[in-house]
Amino acid sequence: MSAADVTATPTRRPFTGRRVRFGDAALQLVAGGAALGATVLVGLIIWKVIDGSRPSISKYGLGFVTRVAWNPVVGHELYGAGSFIFGTLITSFFALLIATPLALGVALFLTELAPRWIQAPVTALVETLAAVPSVVIGLWGILVLGPALRTNIESWLHSAFGWIPLFGPPSAAGASIFTAIVVLSIMILPIVSSISRELFLGVPPELKEGALALGTTRWEMIRGVVFPYARGGIAAALILGLGRAMGEAIAVTQVIGGGVFIHWSLFSGGDTLGSKIAASYQGASTDLQSASLIYLGLILLVLSLIANIAAQGIVRQVAKKHGVTRGGHA
Amino acid sequence: MPKLGTSIRITSAVAAAALLAVVVAGTAGARTSHKLSTISGAGSTFVSPLVAQWISPLGAAYGIELQYSPIGSGGGIAAITSRTVDFGASDAPLTPDQFSACNGCEQIPWALGGTAIMYNLPGVKNLLHMDGPTLAKIFSGQISAWNDPGIAALNKGVNLPSTKITIAHRSDNSGTTYNLTDYLSSVSPSWSSQYGKGVAVNWPVGVGGKGSSGVSAIVASTPGAIGYADVAFALQNHLQYFAMKNNSGKYTTPGARGILAAATSDQKPAADNSLSIVNPPKKFDNAYPISTFTYVIVPLQSKNATDLKHFLFWAVTKGQAGQYTAKLRFVPLPKSVLVVAEKAISKIHS
Amino acid sequence: MSAQQLTGGPDFRTNHLVRRKRVNMGMEALAWLAAAIAIAILGIVVWSVARKGWSELNLDLITKNPIPFSLTNAPQGLSNAFAGTLVIVGLATLMALPVGILIAVYLNEFAPPSIRTGIGLILDILAGVPAIVIGIFVFVLLVSGSGQSAVKGAFSLAILMLPFVARTTIEVLALVPNSLREASLGLGIPAWRTTLSIVLPRAIGGIVTGTVLAVARVAGETAPLLFTSSLVGTQTSWNPSHALQTVPVAIFELSESPDPKDHARAWAAGFILLVFILFASLSARWLATRHARKIAGR
């Protein structure tokens, strides 16, 4: 979905100053009800998630957010979100770090550098990857990527650079934070790349040609015209990608290996907020454990909402700056 | 290009519709459930291989469709407590708190099996020996390589490689974990004080897997790994397992003989119908020390009482027959336990 | 930079222009490299999934039920999962479609500008809630205490579909020319009739597009179904009041199994799912362009 503003140019005036027929009122009521329903739904989601986590909130308060612990042993129960928030942030940021240059590279390649005949197949490839469900990417991650990373990259990095704490002993069977980062970057690559491509295509050709006519090289034109013009949109795309990475639970839980403590090594197991919920909710045997898992969901919801609203804010600013941008790029 | 693009897209639309049609036709051909009633249960992965064998004959005998979801003993207890299912299954007996939360439930022993300590050590084909204290050291991380003197001492003459040991434990609340930690606590005072026994403990080392399949998957794919699950999983995945030293000094494996011998060490179920046959005293010299009964948890009052009773009576009698149990190394319930089980089942009413 | 510098005037020709050209070549090479790496990765993933999935495809997958812990080599498949997916996705579409269209109608035909922005914001927020949180929400709201069912699973998917359907319908409704509405009103047709019989039918192509895209989106969703429809049986059932197995959940469970035969089934099912989603997205795109051309009157 493009980051373009949802509120299209107003074409309608509300039906004011007109004799209101029953049918009109009825349709407006029903349609308005649906709109109201959506609003209520959002509020209900937020409320129910808070409600479900209440036993854990009242027991642990905000200390839950920083505590690194998850001990479900009855009689010694102690829960905390610290290691999972860490896992979520580490995996999402590293995934974004890897995916961004690649995505921008593909987008630039498709819009400025590639010969025309390459554009269709490459775009098709990116679209195909976007269509792969996350559970299938996770399946591929468990059976293909994980073992390949473990044998080829993790062991080499550990033996060559093992003195750096980031590169600890290779993981068992390839289930590690590192594999999760690679999986996430593959998943957000298509999103960031398609949005960037649309943004680059939306740069007015006159601006680009004008710069080239002045004698700039292609790179200088890109750096001086395309990037500044698309800067806001790209920022929004990145934040959108970040939000997507933070919210991904299934593919991550399949490849991340599980674990509570915060390790330096990228090759150790771990969990993110989403992956911990996906792994543990079904077997949660006490009310406190269930509530704590929902508390994790609440924290994830807050983080996603922040990312989402930030992206929306940037999109709105960009729209204001460039006027309404509903370009026809079929 | 537009023309090519359009025809690709029209083809896609047609193909999507065709795919849908094929799937609908195919699934319509499958045996749909025309059964009269459904009994749903969830819980222990330990007993799930055996319960899976019961699905088909139960349907043939009573027209009952049995649905069982192996989500771990902890999940099973939670599911039956919230009455999301008709029965739960757990290898770990319920605590008094769990009994009161379940509000009118009883636990009934319905199968007997053993936990295999399975490992993946390519190149070593011998049946390796292991004893309790050494196993506790392995699981607590004090022994971390296969050629450690502690392991070598038990396996003289075997060429043990220096491969690192990777522990595969359960990430979910597991009755098999309870069985193992019950055993480790009884053979190792330091394990007992540091980690104790339970459906989940604070594992100091290792990788977590979901369910017995998850643990088996880790062991199967990681050279040097050691994990634990019902012996049926080890057999199904062609994984080797240790011969454990029991209190009489013999090394036994989780087979019919070892498990049955362990079962004779506790023939009288307690008031809550639980039995404890872990690490039997030395007079049971053939016993496999990590054996366990496993329980079905049912509410005394259930709207599916008739079907539930048919199912459970069948399970503890015909369901224990060799054709279902032998290949999976489950052992038919001893007579004294069977009597108690049948009495408990008859208490279920609607 | 002065014009003299830019055009590489006599004093700077050799130094700056050459250097700028080198920088340009370097950056272009980097972009090519980045694109090549990205394309290689994407290609490897798609190729890997396609190859493994294709090689494991067989008809048993959709005609036979699963046999857990089978001690024989009897043929088995995932028929129950395919049936369940059809039921749940179908129900979800029935739930999301009318509500999404109504929201779009309200926003486009009735709402004053401030409310329009507000509802747009609500839809965007809804679209940004992670699927697993939706799963938690429906669990707390409907499942906890009363059990799972396909309908509850469909409800959770419908929540995911709603923003998609609403957004595309809004965009398509906005494309319907005002002249059409004014002409209709001028003829004395009431506003509600105009909307339902004149405006909406013009937008039907876009609505179908949005729906197909939304279906493609949720056909592969696993997380919400783990909470609402995961304690299931092995027999194929079309009964929505029971919890039904679905393809994504089946793949998820099979992926964590140690048995290579389970993996084979997971690949095959994943392949079918991927192919369906891909075809659906492509055809939706086709419908969109064709329809946009039609409305705009070309």
Tens digits of per-residue pLDDT, B297-331? 999 999 999 999 999 999 999 999 999 999 999 99
* Superfamily of domain covering A70-322: MetI-like (1.10.3720.10)
Q: How do residues A103-136 score in pLDDT, each as one tens digit?
A: 999 998 888 888 888 888 888 888 888 889 999 9
Comparing CB atoms, the residue among A5, A42, A140 nearest residue C49 is A140
Q: What is the pLDDT of residues B191-224, one digit of tens each?
A: 999 998 988 888 888 888 889 999 999 999 899 9
CA–CA distance, B256 with B258 (Å, rounded to integer): 6
Give B319's contacts (C-beta < 8 A, 6+ positions apart). Answer: B50, B54, B110
Q: CA C117, CA A75: separation in Å to the nearest integer?
A: 51
Q: How far apart are CA B77 and CA B72, in angstroms?
A: 9
User: Could you tell me if C9 and C124 lie in one domain?
Assistant: no
Check if the beta carbon of residue B292 is closer than 8 Å to that of residue B115. Answer: yes
Percent of chain C with pLDDT over 90: 45
Q: Would you give the DSSP letter of residue A167?
A: S
- Measured distance CA(B294)–CA(A164) in Å, rounded: 47
pLDDT of C297 over the 60 cut: no
CB within 8 Å of C209: residues ≥ 6 apart: C168, C172, C284, C285, C287, C288, C291
Same domain assignment for residues C85 and C24: no
Count of B-C CB contacts under 8 Å: 136
Cα angle: B67, vertex C229, A145; to 5 degrees:
100
- Of C55, C70, C98, which marks where a domain is finished? C55
Do C43 and C120 lie in a common domain?
Answer: no
Chain B environment of C77 (Cβ under 8 Å): 30
Is there a contact between A283 and B74 if contact means CB atoms under 8 Å apart? yes
Task: Verify that C84 and C205 share a domain, yes or no.
Answer: yes
Tell me which chain B residues have a C-beta less than 8 angstroms from the C-beta of C278: 12
Taking the Cβ of residue C267 and every Cβ of chain A, the question of whether any pair is shorter than 8 Å is answered with yes
Tokens read off for A91: 């995996």
Shared-domain flag, residues C121 and C147: yes
ipTM attached to this prediction: 0.88
Residues 232-291 of C with CB under 8 A from B: 232-238, 242, 256-259, 272, 275-276, 278-280, 282-283, 285-287, 290
pLDDT digits (tens, 9 = 90+) for C16-68: 888 888 888 888 888 888 888 888 888 888 888 888 888 888 888 888 999 98
Q: Are C233 and C184 within one domain?
A: yes
Q: What angle do CA C155, C157, C162 make, to 5 degrees?
A: 90
Shared domain for C144 and C77, answered yes or no, is yes
Q: Which domain holds residue C21?
A: 3-55
CB contact (8 A) between residue B216 and residue C258: yes
- The verdict on a CB contact (< 8 Å) between B200 and A269 is no
Per-residue tokens: B131: 């004893």
Cβ-Cβ contacts under 8 Å, B95 against chain A? 74
Neighbours of A208 (CB within 10 A): 20
Return the number of other C-beta atoms located less than 10 Å from residue A20's C-beta: 13
Surface of C (91-130) touching B: CB under 8 A: none
Q: Check CB contact of C55 with chain B, cutoff 8 Å.
A: no
Q: What pLDDT was estimated at residue B36?
A: 66
The pTM for the full model equals 0.90
C86 touches chain B (CB under 8 A): yes
Q: Do B12 and C82 touch (CB under 8 A)?
A: no
Q: Is the pLDDT of residue C4 over 70?
A: no
Three-state secondary-structure class, residue B298? strand
**Shortest distance, CA C238 to any CA of chain A (angstroms):** 24
B contact residues 307-346, partner C, Cβ 8 Å cutoff? 327-328
Q: Cα separation of C202 and C180, whole Å?
A: 10
CATH code assigned at C68: 1.10.3720.10
Q: For residues B9 and A124, what is the distance between their CA atoms, to the nearest angstrom?
A: 12
Contact C69 B65 (CB under 8 A): no
- Is the predicted pLDDT of residue C278 greater than 60, yes or no? yes
CB of C133 within 8 Å of any CB in chain A? yes
Q: Are residues C39 and C143 in the same domain?
A: no
Q: Is C189 within 8 Å of chain A by CB?
A: no
Whether A132 sits inside 8 A of C191 (CB atoms) is no
Which residue in chain A has the smallest CA separation from B225?
Answer: A172
Q: What is the mean pLDDT of chain A?
A: 86
pLDDT tens per residue, range C150-166 = 999 999 999 999 999 99
- Condensed to tens digits (0 to 9), the pLDDT of residues B127-186 reads 999 999 999 999 999 999 999 999 999 999 899 999 999 999 998 889 999 999 999 999
A contact chains, 3+ CB pairs < 8 A: B, C
Q: Report the share of chain B in percent with pLDDT over 70.
A: 95
Instruction: For residues C219 and C288, state if they share a domain.
Output: yes
Check whether residue C122 and residue C242 sit in a common domain: yes
> How close A330 gets to chain C, by Cα (Å)?
6
DSSP state of B326: G
Contacts of C45 in chain A (CB under 8 A): 129, 132, 137, 140, 186
Contact (CB<8Å) B196/A257? no
B113 or C174: which leads in pLDDT: B113
Q: Residue C142: what pLDDT?
A: 94
Residue C105 makes CB contacts below 8 A (sequence gap 6+) with A27, A31, C169, C173, C195, C200
Structure tokens at A29: 């009521």
**∠A135-A136-A139 over CA atoms, to 5°?**
90
- Give me the mean pLDDT over the A139-148 stretch: 92
User: Could you give the CA distance from residue B60 to residue A204 in angstroms, rounded to a whole number?
Assistant: 72
CB A277 within 8 A of CB C131: no
For chain B, the C-alpha Rg in angstroms (whole number) is 23
Q: Which residue has the tokens 């500008």?
A: C113
Answer whether C34 touches A (CB < 8 Å): yes
Buried/exposed B68-79: b ≥16 CB within 10 Å, e otherwise: bbbbbbbbbbbb
Min Cα distance A257 → chain B (Å) is 7
CB C168 within 8 A of CB C281: no
Alpha-carbon distance A260 to B202, whole Å?
Answer: 10
- For A197, half-sphere exposure in the C-beta direction (CA atoms, 13 angstrom radius) is 26
CB proximity B36 to C under 8 Å: no
Q: How far apart are CA A293 and CA C88, in angstroms?
A: 26
- Rounded-to-integer distance, Cα B159 and Cα A171, Å: 25
B chain contacts of residue C275, beta-carbon cutoff 8 Å: 15, 19
Domain count, chain C: 2
Taking the Cβ of residue B38 and every Cβ of chain C, the question of whether any pair is shorter than 8 Å is answered with yes
Q: Are residues C142 and C242 in the same domain?
A: yes
Q: Which residues of A touch C195 (CB under 8 A)?
A: 27
Residue A313 confidence (pLDDT): 84
Q: Does C57 touch chain B (CB under 8 A)?
A: no
Test the C interface: residue of A1, A2, A6 with most C CBs within 10 Å: A6
Chain A residues in contact with C132 (beta carbon < 8 A): 247, 249-250, 274, 277-278, 297, 300
Q: What is the mean pLDDT of residues C110-122?
A: 90
What is the predicted pLDDT for the residue at C293? 66
Per residue in A64-102, pLDDT tens?
A: 999 998 888 777 889 999 999 999 999 999 999 999 999
Which residues in chain A touch residue C182, judged by CB atoms under 8 angstroms apart?
Answer: none
Chain B residues close to C86, C-beta within 8 Å? 20, 23-24, 27
pLDDT in tens, C214-228: 999 899 999 999 999
Cα dihedral A62/A63/A65/A71 (nearest 10): -130
The shortest CB-CB distance from C282 to any of B9, B69, B328 is to B9
Contact A283 B218 (CB under 8 A): no
Q: Given pLDDT bands bounded at 50, 70 and 90, which one contains residue A6?
A: very low
The answer to whether B218 contacts A172, with C-beta atoms less than 8 Å apart, is: yes
State whether C187 and C293 are in the same domain: yes
Say if C78 is an interface residue toward chain A (CB within 8 Å): no
